[in-house]
A and B are shown apart, each in its own frame.
Chain A
Amino acid sequence: MSEQLVPVLVLTAVVIVFAAAMIGLTFLAGPKRKPTPEKQLPYECGIVGKEHETTRFPVKFYLTAILFILFDIEVIFLYPWALVYGDLLKFGPFILVEIIVFMLVLTFGLFYVWKARALEWD
């Protein structure tokens, strides 16, 4: 079982080592100058912008994230179905009816999201 997994873990180890080495290298090799305040400021194409306190971020991004989760689960449910669909067809249309009901309900969800203009990016 773990024969399949161990190489992946070894690969992660290799990547981490590589990344750490590179950053370490730049840290050692790189010039060490005293950071000037201007340099410290977040880069704004050169203009030294004032930094007002609370940045009002548009919150609409989270809605896509939520919808992503819900539709991702739909996809996850489809995978096992896809594997078995071909073989269970031999035993009648039952497997088909199941997925039709499932997909109808969820496409209605998508349709609702569409009509409710939840994904509008004004």
Chain B
Amino acid sequence: MQDQKGAHTMLHVGLNHYLVLSGVLFSIGVLGVLLRKNALIILMSIELMLNAVNLSFVAFSKYAQNMDGQIMVFFVMTIAAAEAAVGLAIAVAVFKRFKEVNIAHFENLKG
């Protein structure tokens, strides 16, 4: 297949393009989680990571002709939303207590 298509195989968007994109987004998410101090930004980076995963799910679902990928995206979405909701509730509680949403304050949650 490769030779026949010639150079522009590279450009025609195949599965690997989407995977590379989702990989990059995922890494940016991880970077956000690791580097940022603000708890909310961390939560958002997690959301970003989950979305990157969703993208690869859908990409696989299209190129593998199988609906399971999309259904998985459904479930990931629900979980991400629930997680964000509860995460923010906690962040608000922490904000009330410490007047600041720095991740360091989450230390007090430790056992």
By secondary structure, the B interface counts as helix
Contact A66 B88 (CB under 8 A): yes
1/0 per residue, CB under 8 A from B, across A51-69: the answer is 0000000010010001001
| Pairwise interchain contact B96-A70, C-beta atoms closer than 8 A | no
A73 within 8 A of B: yes
Interface residues as binary, A24-45 with B (CB distance below 8 Å gives 1, 0 otherwise): 0000000000000000000000
Q: Does B19 contact A (CB under 8 A)?
A: no
Pair A73/B78 contact, Cβ less than 8 Å: yes
On chain B, the residues within 8 Å of A66 by CB distance are 85, 88-89
Q: Which residues of A contact B74 (CB under 8 A)?
A: 77
B15 within 8 A of A: no
Q: Beta-carbon contacts of B70-96 to A below 8 Å, as 1s and 0s?
A: 000010011001101100110010001
Q: What's the minimum C-beta distance from B107 to chain A, rounded to whole angstroms?
A: 23
**In the complex, residue of chain A having the shortest beta-carbon distance to the beta carbon of B82:** A70
Q: A69–B81 contact, CB under 8 A? A: yes
Nearest-neighbour CB distance to chain B for A114, whole angstroms, equals 18
Count of residues in B whose CB is under 8 Å from the partner chain: 11
Binding site for A on B (CB under 8 A): 74, 77-78, 81-82, 84-85, 88-89, 92, 96
Contacts of B81 in A (CB 8 A): 69-70, 72-73
Instruction: Tell me whether A59 and B77 are in contact (CB under 8 A).
Output: no
With a CB–CB cut-off of 8 A, which chain B residues contact A73? 77-78, 81-82
Listed A/B pairs (22) with beta-carbon separation below 8 Å: A59-B92, A59-B96, A62-B88, A62-B89, A62-B92, A66-B85, A66-B88, A66-B89, A69-B81, A69-B84, A69-B85, A70-B81, A70-B82, A70-B85, A72-B81, A73-B77, A73-B78, A73-B81, A73-B82, A76-B77, A77-B74, A77-B78
User: Top 3 closest A-B pairs, CB basis?
Assistant: A66-B85, A69-B81, A69-B85
